[in-house]
Structure 1
Amino acid sequence: MKREWRLSFLFIISVLALLTFWNYQNRVYDWDMPGYMGCMYTSEFPNSPDKVRILTYEEIKKEAPAEHYTDIIGIKQWDIPRQYFVKNTQSFIEQLPYFQIKVGYILVITLFYKLGFTAPMAVLFTSLISYFFSGILLFYILKLLFPKKYWLAVLLTIATMLLPPMTYMSRVSTPDMFIFQFMLIFMIGLIKKWNKWGMFALLFGITFIRPDYITFTLTYIMSVFFFHYFREKKIDISFIAQGIVLLAMYLAIIKFYHYPGWKDLFYDTFIDRRPIISTHPIDVSLKDYLSIIYIKIIYFKKVTLSLAIMIGVIFWRSKDAWVRIISVLFLVNVYIKFFFFPQSAALRFFFPFIFPVFIMMLYVLSKKYNDLKLGKIT
């Protein structure tokens, strides 16, 4: 069996390399790229905002296909904000806090830039290499779940890596693919029964990379805290300390980078993108919010149905309270994310929470063939 696993691993490595190259050939220079490049250049030229803006768009123009670049700078009549970003330094710089808070991600793309990649490629390469490593991590998870079914691990890995959300995340300049691999490591930690401090280190890294994942990291700690309390009938203060540290880091990042806030993000994304943030005060009423949620949730029905099926299978096949809690944790975080940022047309925002539910379903089904048990965090 070891020989079969070695051969299957070599085969997966080859397939992942080909798929990564395929995604590289279909890479997308999108309008998130100027934001992340601007963050990178700001750290290099902190006192030269004009240079940051000019350099950002000049470097993209050198590499991006013409149709991608015109989409970034906005040549259509209604693309006024993008036209401002490319020409007006104040407009461009005021957008950067939306991107700067993803500190860990910015550090990684900056590292690749310092290693010799062009600025646009440093951003894109981060997604591409994350895609490759995500495939390896997924294959490892499937090996843990189905130790005697190497062919199943191979097929599921390839099928997953060909899913549209996966290929799309690997091609664009966003941290979604990068954070996805850390969510897979989180699943490995659960399966391998890492202790609470090992899991905390991972949660710290996830929050540092994407502070908006604070809802996930805190709800996980709360889940473990209450599970431990009801099982042991005592309070483990270390979980409280972990939550305080994560929350403190989140608040420090938000304050340091002068993050505009959730209402500003919601307004700029779903109501009206402001060319210059500081000159346009916002007002988001409850009616505005609910009307947008109503429209967006209609287009979320396929996700809801898929999650309902997977959760149904998990509850049907497993009576383990911890398994159910973890599964519901991911389910809840899908909808926390949705109600804070209801971009239902972009599955990449929710996929890092949806896919772990699928893994939990596979774990439950694997118990039919293996004596595998999900350990509680101790």
Structure 2
Amino acid sequence: MKLKWGLSFLFFIIGLSFLTFSCYQNRVYDWDMPGYLGSVYSWEFPDDAKKVHEKVYADIENEASKIEFDDILHYNHANEVFYADYKAFGEQLPYYKIKIGFNAAVYVLYKLGFSGPHSVLLVNIFSYFICGLLMFYILKLLFPKNYFIAPLLSLFVFWFPPVRDLAQNPTPDMFVFLFLMLFIISLIQKKSELLQFVFLLCCVLIRPDYILFAMSFLFAVFVFKYCKENRKIDYSLIIQGLSIAIIYVAIIKYYNYPGWKDVFYDSFIYRRPIISAQKAEFTFQIYWDLIVFKLINFKRITLFSLILLSCTFYLSKDTWLRVLAVLFFSNIFMKFLFFPQGGTLRFFIAFVILLFIVFLYALSKKYNGFQLRKIP
């Protein structure tokens, strides 16, 4: 058995290494990179915004191709203003500075000697490789007697273009996915609630918008335990929720984050060149019309997620397993309501994969007898 699993892992690691190298070779220098570099360089030069601005664009120009660098500068009018005016550039940095977990990882690589742009991209390249290992580990747990499913299915998932996009683009999405994978493993392996809380907190530190997921999970556990334990209240879950909320508010306040309304306005209505010069004002009707329009591009994720949810309910009558499936499914659409970028799968693919893992768990439990611990 050990020999077969050893050969299985060898085949997998060769394939994953090839995919990881391919992601590195096809890394993308896009218009998000200046924001994250500016955030990190602000730690180096906290009192010299002009130097931060100059260094950001000089370092990207040294590494990116001419086409990529021109695309960063001329992606829209706002980007042209950011390049020309360091004050306008500085005003949009709070959108990026709040992702302190990602910026901290970039900063560590930068201090180890990597260039700034490389540091941003390598965080995701390393995360991609580790996530691949974790996926193999999960499938080995779920199908302990099948030596082919773990490597083949893991490689298929990480070959999938939206997953590779997470690794190739300078955003925190691949890094936060790493902690989501650790989180789902902690559920499967019956780890302590404290460890699960730590992983949830890491997700919020990397991308504060993941507070929706953290809070919805804690609420689901609270209700589940309350119903199962003769109406007893678990105050530890309340403390966890309050702790995450306090940390979230502290990050938002410290970095003067404009807020969801500003992010939505700049992302979907009009990218303001100078944020302080124009208020982010729009009506609910504009928001609703945009949601309905974006749903057209969301049909693939909607269909696939519904299939996974339905199959999970069909395969398992385990209440807690169904709660997890509904949790991941609902977070896909909660995220869409706040950021309806339906055609960009990287914003939702992590939750889809978690839902896929729950489905595989239900499948393994039905046919292999593998048991998921219910919350006591």
- What is the TM-score when the length of structure 1 is the normalising length? 0.98
Higher mean alpha-carbon deviation, 366-375 vs 28-37, is at 366-375
1:113 maps to 2:110? yes
Does the residue aligned with 1:281 lie in a helix, a strand or coil?
coil
1:95 to 87, 92, 95: 92
Aligned match of 2:310: 312
Structure 2: distance between partners of 1:97 and 1:295: 29
1:138 maps to 2:135? yes
Aligned match of 1:8: 8
Following TM superposition, by how much is the alpha carbon of 1:2 offset from its aligned partner in structure 2, in angstroms? 1.5
- What is the TM-score when the length of structure 2 is the normalising length? 0.98
**Cα deviation per residue 1:21-56 (whole Å; 9 max; x = unaligned)?**
111111110110000000000011011001101100
Aligned match of 1:208: 205
Whichever residue aligns with residue 314 of structure 2, its letter is W
Is the 1:194–1:377 contact (alpha carbons within 8 Å) kept by the matching residues of 2?
A: no
Does the residue aligned with 1:239 lie in a helix, a strand or coil?
helix
Does the residue aligned with 1:274 lie in a helix, a strand or coil?
coil
Give 1:244-323 correspondences, 5 Å limit. 244-323=242-321
Structure 2: distance between partners of 1:224 and 1:376: 11
Structure 1: distance between partners of 2:374 and 2:95: 36
RMSD of the TM alignment (CA)?
A: 0.9
Instruction: Give the count of matched residue pairs.
Output: 375
1:148 maps to 2:145? yes
Is the 2:128–2:167 contact (alpha carbons within 8 Å) kept by the matching residues of 1?
A: yes
Whichever residue aligns with residue 218 of structure 2, its letter is I
Aligned match of 2:24: 24
Whichever residue aligns with residue 183 of structure 1, its letter is L
Following TM superposition, by how much is the alpha carbon of 1:377 offset from its aligned partner in structure 2, in angstroms? 4.0
Aligned match of 2:365: 367
Structure 2: distance between partners of 1:314 and 1:42: 47
Is the 1:135–1:157 contact (alpha carbons within 8 Å) kept by the matching residues of 2?
A: yes
Give 1:140-219 correspondences, 5 Å limit. 140-219=137-216
Following TM superposition, by how much is the alpha carbon of 1:103 offset from its aligned partner in structure 2, in angstroms? 0.7
Is the 1:196–1:377 contact (alpha carbons within 8 Å) kept by the matching residues of 2?
A: no
Aligned match of 1:352: 350
Give unmatched runs, 5+ long, in structure 2: none
Aligned match of 1:39: 39
Q: Which runs of 4+ in 1 moved over 6 A?
A: none
Q: Call closer, same or farther: CA 1:130–1:219 in 2, change over 3 Å.
A: same
Give unmatched runs, 5+ long, in structure 1: none
1:122 maps to 2:119? yes
Structure 2: distance between partners of 1:15 and 1:116: 28
Aligned match of 1:333: 331
Following TM superposition, by how much is the alpha carbon of 1:368 offset from its aligned partner in structure 2, in angstroms? 3.1
Structure 1: distance between partners of 2:240 and 2:149: 38
Is the 1:27–1:171 contact (alpha carbons within 8 Å) kept by the matching residues of 2?
A: yes
Does the residue aligned with 1:368 lie in a helix, a strand or coil?
helix
Whichever residue aligns with residue 221 of structure 1, its letter is L
Whichever residue aligns with residue 368 of structure 2, its letter is N
Following TM superposition, by how much is the alpha carbon of 1:208 offset from its aligned partner in structure 2, in angstroms? 1.4
Structure 2: distance between partners of 1:263 and 1:375: 40
Does the residue aligned with 1:242 lie in a helix, a strand or coil?
helix
**Percent identical:** 47
Structure 2: distance between partners of 1:376 and 1:212: 28
Structure 2: distance between partners of 1:306 and 1:18: 28
Structure 1: distance between partners of 2:22 and 2:349: 21
Whichever residue aligns with residue 60 of structure 1, its letter is I
Following TM superposition, by how much is the alpha carbon of 1:237 offset from its aligned partner in structure 2, in angstroms? 0.5
Whichever residue aligns with residue 240 of structure 2, its letter is Q
Whichever residue aligns with residue 64 of structure 1, its letter is A
Structure 1: distance between partners of 2:154 and 2:222: 33
Following TM superposition, by how much is the alpha carbon of 1:376 offset from its aligned partner in structure 2, in angstroms? 3.0
**Cα deviation per residue 1:146-188 (whole Å; 9 max; x = unaligned)?**
0011211111011011101111111110011111111111110
Structure 1: distance between partners of 2:14 and 2:249: 43
Does the residue aligned with 2:144 lie in a helix, a strand or coil?
coil
Whichever residue aligns with residue 245 of structure 1, its letter is S
Aligned match of 2:60: 60
Is the 1:109–1:126 contact (alpha carbons within 8 Å) kept by the matching residues of 2?
A: yes
Structure 2: distance between partners of 1:42 and 1:377: 44
Is the 2:320–2:375 contact (alpha carbons within 8 Å) kept by the matching residues of 1?
A: no
Structure 1: distance between partners of 2:86 and 2:343: 31
Is the 1:27–1:172 contact (alpha carbons within 8 Å) kept by the matching residues of 2?
A: yes
Q: Call closer, same or farther: CA 1:377–1:198 in 2, change over 3 Å.
A: farther
Structure 2: distance between partners of 1:23 and 1:298: 29
Structure 1: distance between partners of 2:39 and 2:238: 33
Is the 2:316–2:366 contact (alpha carbons within 8 Å) kept by the matching residues of 1?
A: no
Whichever residue aligns with residue 45 of structure 1, its letter is F
